[in-house]
Structure 1
Amino acid sequence: MPDWQFRRPFLGLALALSTALALPLAAANAHGQASAAQLERSVHLRESWQYLTRDVAWPANWTPDGKAFAYRRTVEGGFAFELVSLDGLGRSAPFDHARLAEALGKALGKPIEPLRLPFTEFTYADAERSAIRFGLDYEPWECSLADYTCRKLAFPGRPRGFGVVRDLTVPADNHPRVSPDGKWSAQVEDDNLVVRSAGGKVVQVRSVDGTPGNFYDPETIAWSPDSGHLMIYRVNPGYARHVLRVAAAPEDSLQPQLRSQLYPKPGDAIDQEQPVLFDVASGKQTVIDNTLFPNPYELSTPRWRADGASAEFDYVRRGFQQARVIAVDAQTGAAHAAVTENAKTFVYADRRFVHDVDGLGKEIIWASERDGWNHLYRFDGRTGKVLNQITKGDWVVREVVRVDDEARQIWFAASGMNPGEDPYFIHYYRIDFDGKNLVALTPEKANHTARFSPDMQYFVDTYSRVDLPTVSVLRRASDGSAVATISKGDITRLVAAGFKAPEPFVAKGRDGKTDIWGLVVRPTNYDPSRTYPVIENIYAGPHDSFVPKTFWPFGYHSGGDKVMGMQMLADLGFIVVQIDGMGTANRSKAFHDVAWKDLADSGFPDRIAWHRALAAKNPSYDISRVGIYGASAGGQSTLNALLFHGDFYKAGFAMAGCFDNRMDKISWNEQWLGWPVDASYTAASGVEHADKLTGKLFLLWGEQDSNVDPASSMQVVDALVKAGKDFDMLVVPGEEHSVGRSSGPIDYVNRRMFRFFTEALEQGE
């Protein structure tokens, strides 16, 4: 496991792993550095504390028939899944934990403990509950409950690099798509669409304009419900950029291996999809005029309306400043915009919501930030005009759970509606299409996750705060009234071990008006008469907000495990904080827009103001010694703290950073920096600004990172060396984007980070 340290530029690479392991930290010295024993205690704190709670529950998942729900809870020695029957609330195990652990361990090639199953939720694969499915390391798995065998599931269809460039080395799923009436079968042959009779003898439709460079994609075939038409996309393929990575120490070979990944980057040519309509009876082909959807970044798979008279698809223009629902008449092929959303900055593509009422295209429910907050609107799908705004106020719709067309009601999650409460707390509501009869379903002042039964009669409400252990309650979906308490967290033993809840802190941001929310984690032996260096855990990605709101250390919304890591670091003699500055999501549109074309901002003016406000209130908070750490986008922000705000931040531990946005994945970066690639991409580049580095820097990344091109980190190294800057660096062989945080050498990585900060900050440097 190589560990290269650049103590002096141009003096070469020194392998220092053996020294790092052989020379543990001495006992606390005159500068207050942590002793070896203190360091080891922090490294293993998660393991020591993680199993001290009882009945701390995770969100539930319902059985397909809605007669029961299952959830995970803490028990003696670990975690166990429990199945609760709606009839009588009887409880049982949903599966044999020991047999499942044995089967999964066999499939993974490593031992799994029955009370340490490596997933937090599962769903049933079928109505008979014969198998369960869950995610493991970002891949789908299935385990049979009949014979207890486990297997990794294959992703269906042809892969696409970040959703926009097809991997043409993998064959498309070209199985026959049978029409709803069973009379016809559609496939692609020699790049052209072919429709045959069910028996396969009569060719009814055959296109002739498909070529390898402009082919029909069988995975986009969509039949009309009356079987009279189908729509398919003809594809002009984009640029198949591949990132190459060397596996220096592969487990199955002495010699290094070269690995390749389809990895489109900002500005690359992407697949261009052209909708084409076919009339089955006549064989007529209509290429849909793309005037209303030019230069698409994304077209969704076509959806036919219930009456078969028209089809629709979602469109996002490249650059993310326009989104539309495009409707196409089945008879004429004429297209019109059923909904149009324009933005001067960005349309937040991942938070779009569209629902076609009754499936007929006459009314469409749509989420929009056009009034400055994310709300729901009802559109006339024929004219594209707003019929009425459904939700309204200085708060944010976070998710639409269910739309009931017959009752004309919507169940949704929102945050910021309740005065005097943390504006990020999620609550659940029901409202009518006309915006009337708003019903609050989750009254407790906490952060909620609701899982509704298939028939929408009940839901399991799992709620908590950082200072409130998790409570799980069965409620009626009609009014939120409680049916029964399912579980209630008990932290008696955790408190006895020294646990103290993190403290929310609110201060004004850069404008002197906007509340900025953060979290403070202090050492378990905190002494207010002492002064403590400060370390900020940063993640400023515009795609969400990140300060944990659920109970520590088992947060299921955002960052429970990260808070555990913050406590581990705090116990070495620091105050560790996390802050959501401007530019992050889940507040107003104006709050979010700060990130547009300015990822270097990272909310730093708000963060520094927040730090100063806490220091003014708490003399033990020493902002003359502030460190910062983060991973991925947080790694980029960490480096930028030392490049652009080195007068405030003195040390940074940057992990797996996307240090130059031109080097990173296309999807995330074009969403926030737009298209075409312009100067905003280089404004936040650690490569371009490496000469500005001040303070202590440690760079860490995984050799096999498939999320962020690891060459981005090495390019920063190159620029820092050329600029004559001292820094430390560690590349972890074989590791992914998690760089040891969720798997692999986690203890080693933690030990290196903890040592770095005790050396960089405790000595007052």
Structure 2
Amino acid sequence: MKTTRLDAAACRTAERLLRHNRHELVLGDKINPHWIDGGARFWYAVDTSAGRRFVLVDPAAGTREPAFDREMVAAALAAASGHDVDAAALPFGAVELTGDAVEFDAFGAHWRCGLDGGACEKAAGGPPRHPLEVPSPDRRFVVFRRGHDLWARSAEDGREWALTSDGDADRDYGAGPDFFMYSGMLKKAGLPHAPPAVSWSPDSTRVLTHRTDQRGVRRTHLVESMPDDGGAPALLTQRQPFPGDDRLPLAELVVLDVAEGTAVPARAEPQAMPVMSPIFTRWAWWAEDGSAVYYLSRPRDVRTLRLHRLDPGTGEVTTVLTETGDTRVEPSQQPAQRPMVRVLSGGRELLWYSQRDGWGHLYLYDARSGEPRGQVTSGQWAVQEILRVDEARRVVYFVASGLVASDPYRRSVCRAGLDGSGFARVTDDDLDHVVVVPENGEYFIDSASTTDSPPWATVRGWDGRVIVELERADITRLTATGWTPPERFRVKAADGRTDIYGVLYRPHGFDPDRRYPVLDHPYPGPQVNRVSPSFDPGFFGHDAEAAAALGFVVMAVDGRGTPGRSKAFHDASYRRLADAGGLADHVAALEQLAEGRPWMDLDRVGIFGHSGGGFAAVRAMLDFPGVFKTGVSESGPHDNRYYNLGWGETYDGPFDEETYARSSNVDIADRLEGNLLLVHGGLDDNVSPHLTLRLADRLIAADKDFELLIVPGAEHMFFGYERYVARRRWDFLARHLM
């Protein structure tokens, strides 16, 4: 058989497929609705081969039409502003539809253009919303940080006043942990910090926030080799606790009355906050009528989950429900998901998610006594998201996975009665469904696809019928690059019994008579899946697509220990971060896939990954040196004893030296046999570069050859350096595998 080699044209194609470029290749695949009248109508912008269009949808009328005449607005704006305006590329990305006119910001001014063919004219418009200000629901006020305190401002007259006055560097208001609050990514965006963690009451009179206690939290350091002013190196210090530390950031919940300036602190223990504010993660929220605040809490061993009710007038806290388990007890399968907890019937009932029967299901409770009323859903499948609760009809609508026989990760929209009866699939097909629900909850926007079927976006009623068709994605530009859909596969895990699923990308210009080098592209979780069941390849998938354009076969798989399926499947990772998302399952998958695919050359297998995937890439080379001959590890946390407490203690359990040493690449660095490139950002304030340098130091001590690239000004995601890092990755893989 023939062999392959890298060329310049392939590199140019690969670059087009990278995350920051690929959106230009797929048109009409995402709907970002902007609600009007509480969701009764909405508009969205969509890019097409003929330029950007603005679309207005009225679900009640069943209509979809242009929000305005592009040509007319372009001509009117050009005449009024004196600028050239292309109707296919209008100089604004957002609009406001106000009866008989459309308003927008362009050329440094606010404009109002009549929809009846009238002229454009400058109009009074408030200044653009500042990203560090949080507006009230009625838009009359904003809350922002000044120093270590929170302040309010009236949108009507600009008056400003302090809501707190006793904040200081170690106990400030509305702040998250340092690595999130003051991240390098924010600095690159020109922001000094993240927005304050505040949640407005529905009536716009009060805000829920927390005083952030970081007294005694471990301080870590980075050196900014070349500051923006070009001067001498600067020391950057942040607080980040390690597993086993006595002190970690704490959130002291408090309710602030905006008009009165009074503060009501929660009369309860502060909440552990190792990673992110409970307000940002939506673990704390207002009741719909503003009569209470509800919040979730877990101790550091994460084996107990509690729901609390906070009286915003008195600060009194009562515990509504407590659940304990032998491993993690979670309100959802992935931390980025909104907790699946809903307080119903004016505070009398509670809908609660649990994996107590081995799957992820919903249960109904009496919210006053904490007594169970019954299991709402059941079966060997998992609820993934609550969409809507129709209290009048006593029905809950939700997204579930595991109901499509061919793929347990595909998501379906379902319904069930709160008494456990009447379960049905609302979207009764084998596609994967991504859903958005408007404020009024009267319908849902559905994007249906698979890994090889482009998205079809519609507005649907809760009976599943299509009310309005919105978009069918155009992938003409994508296929023109030589891209072909990945093959969705199912193989057996290393135990020989468990089914595992993944995708296999064939090289561009695939020739079955050639033999191609193979790359594994892992992300070990356990907090997110590596492989997406939809057409969108997900956050990690773009790098795999790019590598296939270079002439590699690329495999991605979700091994045992990753989320999205049964409790037992996920718990395979508990206190076993050393397994890196089931690397033994990856090896088993490679062997099974190659049996019927002679074009996969298992004598030339490499692996590459970022962050947790960077850890997994090195671990694979150390644990399976006979399989993985070449690896690229980017931003890897190679020793969890010296990484964020929230990651280690959630997934490897309470700190003990033996368990945490097992998940250290540093301690077994002397096993390295193949070709390894280590890459890290010099200003990575999430996974500190010292974690890669520790590994490098041990490799040197073991007299091992490897390559090391430190990108001095880069943070965790290499923003601004993506092209350079990708080129170095590709060059290294091609040099050793092609």
- Distance verdict in 2 for CA 1:275–1:685, change over 3 Å: same
How far 1:673 moved relative to its partner? 1.9
Contact 2:297 2:307 in 1 (8 A): yes
**8 Å contact from structure 2 (residues 150, 163) kept in 1:** no
Q: Which segment is superposed worse, 331-340 or 587-596? A: 331-340
CA distance in 1, matches of 2:446, 2:736: 44
Residue from 557, 567, 575 that aligns with 1:589: 567
Q: CA deviation at 1:558?
A: 1.9
SS of 2:150's equivalent in the other structure is coil
Q: Indicate the residue corresponding to 2:534 in structure 1.
A: 550
SS in 1 for 2:577: coil
Partner residue of 2:142? none
Question: How far off its partner does 1:238 sit?
Answer: 3.6
- Deviation of residue 232 (structure 1)? 9.4
**In the alignment, is residue 338 of structure 1 matched against residue 320 of structure 2?**
yes
Q: Distance in 2 between the 1:445 and 1:454 partners? A: 28
How many residues are paired up?
664
Q: Which residue of the other structure, out of 536, 559, 568, is the alignment partner of 2:546? A: 568
Question: Any unmatched runs of 5+ in structure 2?
Answer: 78-85, 113-121, 135-144, 155-160, 176-195, 257-261
Aligned to 2:188: none
Paired position in structure 2 for 1:59: 31
Over 3 Å counting, the alpha-carbon distance change for 1:467 and 1:277 in structure 2 is: closer
Quote the residue 2:473 is aligned against.
Answer: 489
Q: Percent identity?
A: 31
CA offset at residue 628 of structure 1? 0.6
Matched ranges for 1:80-479 at <5 A: 82-86=55-59, 87=61, 88-92=63-67, 153-155=130-132, 170-173=147-150, 237-268=214-245, 269-272=247-250, 288=267, 312-327=294-309, 337-348=319-330, 350=335, 352-360=339-347, 362-418=348-404, 420-476=405-461, 478-479=462-463
For residue 541 of structure 1, the aligned residue among 520, 525, 529 is: 525
1:156 to 1:238, Cα distance in 2 relative to 1, 3 A? farther
Listed one character per residue, the Cα deviations across residues 383-413 of structure 1 (whole Å, up to 9, x for unaligned) are 3232111111111111112223333222211
State the secondary structure of the residue aligned to 1:689: helix
CA contact (8 A) 1:327 1:337 kept: yes
One of 650, 673, 683 as aligned partner of 1:671: 650
Cα pair distance change 1:611/1:481, threshold 3 Å: same
Relative to structure 1, the CA distance from residue 755 to residue 501 in structure 2 (aligned partners, 3 Å threshold; closer, same or farther) is: same
**Counterpart in the other structure of 1:759:** 735
Q: CA deviation at 1:490?
A: 3.7
Please list, as runs of the form range in 1=range in 2, the aligned pairs for 1:491-510 lying within 5 A after superposition: 491-492=475-476, 494-495=478-479, 497-510=481-494
After superposition, the Cα gap between the structure-2 partners of 1:470 and 1:117, relative to the gap in structure 1 and judged at 3 Å, is farther
2:579 is paired with a residue of what secondary structure?
coil
Which whole-Å CA distance do the structure 2 matches of 1:51 and 1:311 have between them?
Answer: 39
Cα distance change of structure 1 residues 251 and 225 upon mapping to structure 2, 3 Å threshold: closer
Change (3 A) 1:337 1:287: closer
**CA pair 338-223 structure 1, distance change in 2 beyond 3 A:** same
Residue equivalent to 2:48: 75
Instruction: Give the Cα–Cα distance (whole angstroms) in 2 for the partners of residues 370 and 97 of structure 1.
Output: 60
Please give the alpha-carbon distance, in whole angstroms, between the structure 1 residues aligned to 2:356 and 2:73: 53
Distance of 1:114 and 1:588 partners within structure 2: 51
Q: Does 1:519 align with 2:498?
A: no
Given the two structures, how large is their TM-score scaled by the length of structure 2? 0.77
Q: In the superposition, relative to structure 1, how do residues 621 and 347 fare at CA in structure 2: closer, same or farther (>3 Å)?
A: same
The offset of 1:694, in angstroms, is: 1.9
- The verdict on how the C-alpha distance between 1:701 and 1:277 changes in structure 2, with shifts beyond 3 A counting, is closer
Match of 1:685 in 2: 664
SS of the residue 1:747 aligns to? helix
Name the aligned partner's letter for residue 504 of structure 1: R
Deviations 1:419-438 (A, max 9, x none): x2311112212222112223
CA contact (8 A) 1:82 1:94 kept: no
Measure, in 2, the Cα distance between the counterparts of 1:129 and 1:261: 46
Q: For 2:219 and 2:70, how far apart are their aligned partners in 1?
A: 43
Contact conserved, 1:372 with 1:589, CA < 8 A, in 2?
Answer: yes
TM-score, scaled relative to structure 1: 0.74
Mapped partners of 1:118, 1:660: distance in 2: 48
Distance 1:289 1:623, change over 3 A: same
Q: Which moved further from structure 2: 515-524 or 660-669?
A: 660-669
How far 1:325 moved relative to its partner? Answer: 1.2
Give me the whole-angstrom Cα distance separating, in 2, the residues matched to 1:543 and 1:125: 40
Structure 2 partner of 1:730: 709
Change (3 A) 1:380 1:686: same
- Across the aligned residues of Structure 1 and Structure 2, the Cα RMSD in angstroms comes to 4.7
Q: Cα–Cα, structure 1 residues 445 and 91, in superposed 2: closer, same or farther, change >3 Å?
A: farther
Residue 746 in structure 1 maps to residue 726 in structure 2: no
1:34 corresponds to 2:6:
yes
Q: Using a 3 Å threshold, how does the CA distance of structure 1 residues 635 and 77 change in structure 2: closer, same or farther? A: farther
Letter in 2 for 1:566: A
Distance change in 2, residues 1:125/1:417 (3 Å): farther
Contact conserved, 1:537 with 1:578, CA < 8 A, in 2?
Answer: yes
CA distance in structure 2 between the aligned counterparts of 1:714 and 1:413, rounded to whole angstroms: 43
2:596 maps to 1:598: no
* Pairing 1:587-666 to 2, within 5 Å after superposition: 587-602=565-580, 603-666=582-645
Alignment gaps of 5+ in structure 1: 1-29, 103-112, 133-141, 158-167, 178-184, 192-210
